[in-house]
Amino acid sequence: MFRFLVSLRTVLQRAGSPARSGRRYHHASPPPVSREPVLSTIRYQVSADPAAHRYHVTVQFDCPGTAPLLRLPNWIRGSYLVRDFAKHVQGLKAFVDDRPAAITRLDKGRFRVEGQGRIRLEYAVHALDNSVRKAWLDTRRGFFNGSSLFYCPAGAETAGFELQIERPDSALCPGWKLATALAPVDVADDGFGVYRADSYEELIDCPVEMAAYQSIVFDVDGIPHSLILSGRCEPDLPRLAADIAKVCHVQRELFGQQPHMAQYLFLTQVTGNGYGGLEHRTSTALVTARDALPRPGQSGLRKGYRGFLGLVSHEYFHLWNVKRITAARFADNDLSAEAYSEDLWAYEGVTSYYDDLMLLRAGLIDAPVYLDLLAEAATRLQRTPGRTVQTLAEASFETWIKHYQPDEQTPNAAVNYYVKGALATLCLDLWLRLHSSVTMDDVMRALWTRYGAQDIGVPEGGLEAVAAEISGLDLKPQFDAWLRGTTELPLAELLAAFGITASLRPSAGASDEGGRSDARSSPATTLGLSLRAGDVTIATVFSGSPAEAAGLAGGDQLVAIDGLKITAGNWALRLEALHPGAPVSLSWFRGDELMSAPITPAVPAADTWTLTLADVDGEPLARRQAWLGA
């Protein structure tokens, strides 16, 4: 229908195999592994049972020596939480030379097969995780990361790997096609068949998407890129391709058109209200809301579509920052246990700084909109009491137990290393521009040249050291304050030097996320709590608030203020009727017990940022134009 629309098979035939690092894990020297005598290619066969939400997996290899040890990862790169993928494995059986063999379990993710010879494993994997991190299978769609499905024989991490994916029953799954960045060996036009990988790392770093998806292929600087959309949607495919191509182009320009790739895939699940992504070396897995995608004939850049393009930009920037410029502690980890680093902000936070900036450079948004997006990030940080409790370095280190497992106390005790990391990177970029001839772009290019392009892991503090070296500045006071301290970031002061006025004001209402607001008035009072979306259940009671003084807690269900019923629909009106300093009676359920207490509303804090272009000339204007463009 569209001239861009071609089959993924055509792209694979044209592109050949994806680029490889040749390393066992990522980009640094691999960790020691046991040298098991595994000699043959490791072959996997995957068949799908969509009605039961199970993948059936067979693994075969030759092991002429001692009993082989096999393992499954416990976490997936780019998502820093131990997820224990082995918990989804069912019915594990082993055979040696086609005879049943005993299995000796060593821990949650490892076991030995007692015997030697031709080894075969058979097992099923329950797949009903509707995210980008694990595996999913029903009659509409199939998706998996290899880390959820494929046991690897120890010592064979750099052996050849072959993967055969069988086509599901066409009666259950009509029109299904398959998309993956793995190199094809014997693949049908619909993508099902045999693929190969030169290492286990490559095998598990190429997710697989199966569905009756829509696709469009577009060129970015001579490299074919594919957008795969699984799920019900009526998108403007040519517009999507054109806009995404602009984003990819400016990012490749930043890094001197390196690295060369045979192809890149955006594997996108379209849902009612989803959002998220996970980066891979030659592809990314995305989730987006249906209404975020532009339809044919729609013009303008709606908020949802702008958010989707920001997500695309974020995950594509990870092609460099994380997948190639990566912490040595991450690169050296074999995914069996946590990899601790205080520098996670330098990968996720830096990428979060660049994602919207790249939309500006691509011409998809203008400077005032970009400043609104910065103001929204600054507002999220300002409304997080935990910014005065946890440092950015601590947030990076503790991500394994905090970021991915938030609770009602998280806003009071923790800071988001994506959000504060992006704003700390903004401060660093402005500081470098103000005091040297170096910019954050130069820092990223230096990290790419020294580490990413060489497949060398970045040591702890690597970004800090490179920034100081190439700028000639003593940056230790800034990094101590911004990364290892809890003082406020100097946003207003730095932005003022670039002709941008930054001011704090009270929120104009529940929908006010920061930036320019057309609201006419602000709420006169606050109780210092937040509610779950569409509910009257308390999500968080903020530290030092009237709600905390009244003894409220996360999970409490509000009932009434001064005897008047509280609902999700009238909550804002109830707040507007209150007066600062005038106590009222608040009633709520905690479990099945009705409780009540007096509560004294307070004046809302000035916690909402607005950033605007000031009328300046001279050096401030020149600096602003160098940063944001003319």
- Do residues 174 and 310 share a domain? yes
Q: Which of 258, 282, 317 is the last residue before a domain boundary?
A: 317
Q: Is residue 518 part of a domain?
A: no
- How high is the pLDDT of residue 12? 36
- Do residues 312 and 377 share a domain? no
- Do residues 224 and 193 share a domain? yes
Q: Is residue 512 part of a domain?
A: no
- Do residues 344 and 308 share a domain? no
- Do residues 313 and 360 share a domain? no
Average pLDDT, the chain: 92
Under a CB-based contact definition with an 8 Å cutoff, are residues 346 and 395 in contact? no
- Do residues 112 and 245 share a domain? yes
- How high is the pLDDT of residue 523? 63
- Do residues 157 and 45 share a domain? yes
Under a CB-based contact definition with an 8 Å cutoff, are residues 225 and 196 in contact? no
Structure tokens at 351: 């990428």
- Do residues 481 and 623 share a domain? yes
Q: Is residue 1 part of a domain?
A: no
Residue with tokens 């066969």: 45
What is the mean pLDDT of the segment spanning 570-592? 93
CA distance 516 to 20: 45
Confidence label for 520 from pLDDT (cuts 50, 70 and 90) = low
- Do residues 242 and 389 share a domain? no
- DSSP structural state of residue 144: E
- How high is the pLDDT of residue 509? 78
Phi first, then psi, for residue 440 (nearest 5°) are -65, -30
Under a CB-based contact definition with an 8 Å cutoff, are residues 55 and 89 in contact? no
Structure tokens at 387: 């910014």
Q: Is residue 146 part of a domain?
A: yes
Identify the weakest region by mean pLDDT among 10-14, 175-179, 268-272, 496-500. Answer: 10-14
What is the mean pLDDT of the segment spanning 322-336? 97
- What is the per-residue pLDDT across 196-230, written as a single tens digit (0 to 9) for each? 999 999 999 999 999 999 999 999 999 999 999 99
- Do residues 26 and 157 share a domain? yes
526: which residues sit within 8 A by CB, 6+ positions away?
545, 546, 575, 601, 602, 603, 604, 605
DSSP string, 478-540: HHHHHTS--SPP-HHHHHHTTTEEEEEE---STT--SSS---S---S-B-SEEE-TTSSBEEE
Confidence label for 38 from pLDDT (cuts 50, 70 and 90) = low
- Do residues 409 and 554 share a domain? no
Confidence label for 352 from pLDDT (cuts 50, 70 and 90) = very high
CA distance 297 to 278: 30
Q: Is residue 604 part of a domain?
A: no
Q: Is the pLDDT of residue 439 over 50?
A: yes
What is the mean pLDDT of the segment spanning 449-474? 98
Q: What is the CATH number of the domain that holds 441?
A: 1.10.390.10
Q: Is the pLDDT of residue 11 over 80?
A: no
Confidence label for 24 from pLDDT (cuts 50, 70 and 90) = very low
Q: Is residue 523 part of a domain?
A: no
Residue 585's identity, in one-letter code, is S
Q: What is the dihedral of CA 208, 209, 215, 216, to 10 degrees?
A: -30
Q: Is residue 606 part of a domain?
A: no
Q: What is the CATH number of the domain that holds 547?
A: 2.30.42.10
403-416 burial code (b ≥16 CB/10 A, e <16): beeeeeebbbebbb
Q: Which of 283, 317, 351 is the last residue before a domain boundary?
A: 317
Contacts 24+ apart (CB under 8 A), 593-600: 594/559, 595/556, 597/550, 597/551, 597/552, 598/550, 599/527, 599/546, 599/547, 599/549, 599/550, 599/552, 600/546, 600/549
Q: What is the CATH number of the domain that holds 245?
A: 2.60.40.3650
**Residue numbers of the domain that contains 590:** 529-599
Q: At what angle do helices 237-254 and 350-361 cross, to 10 degrees?
A: 120
- Do residues 421 and 286 share a domain? no
Confidence label for 8 from pLDDT (cuts 50, 70 and 90) = very low
Phi first, then psi, for residue 627 (nearest 5°) are -85, -50
Identify the weakest region by mean pLDDT among 152-156, 458-462, 481-485, 587-591. Answer: 152-156
- What is the per-residue pLDDT across 127-138, written as a single tens digit (0 to 9) for each? 999 999 999 999
Q: Is residue 609 part of a domain?
A: no
Q: Which of 264, 282, 317 is the last residue before a domain boundary?
A: 317
Number of domains in the chain: 3
What is the mean pLDDT of the segment spanning 63-72? 89
Phi first, then psi, for residue 49 (nearest 5°) are -120, 80
Confidence label for 67 from pLDDT (cuts 50, 70 and 90) = confident
Structure tokens at 610: 């607005």
Q: At what angle do helices 350-361 and 440-447 cross, to 10 degrees?
A: 120
Residue 563's identity, in one-letter code, is G
379: which residues sit within 8 A by CB, 6+ positions away?
513, 514, 515, 607, 608, 609
Residue with tokens 């990361």: 145
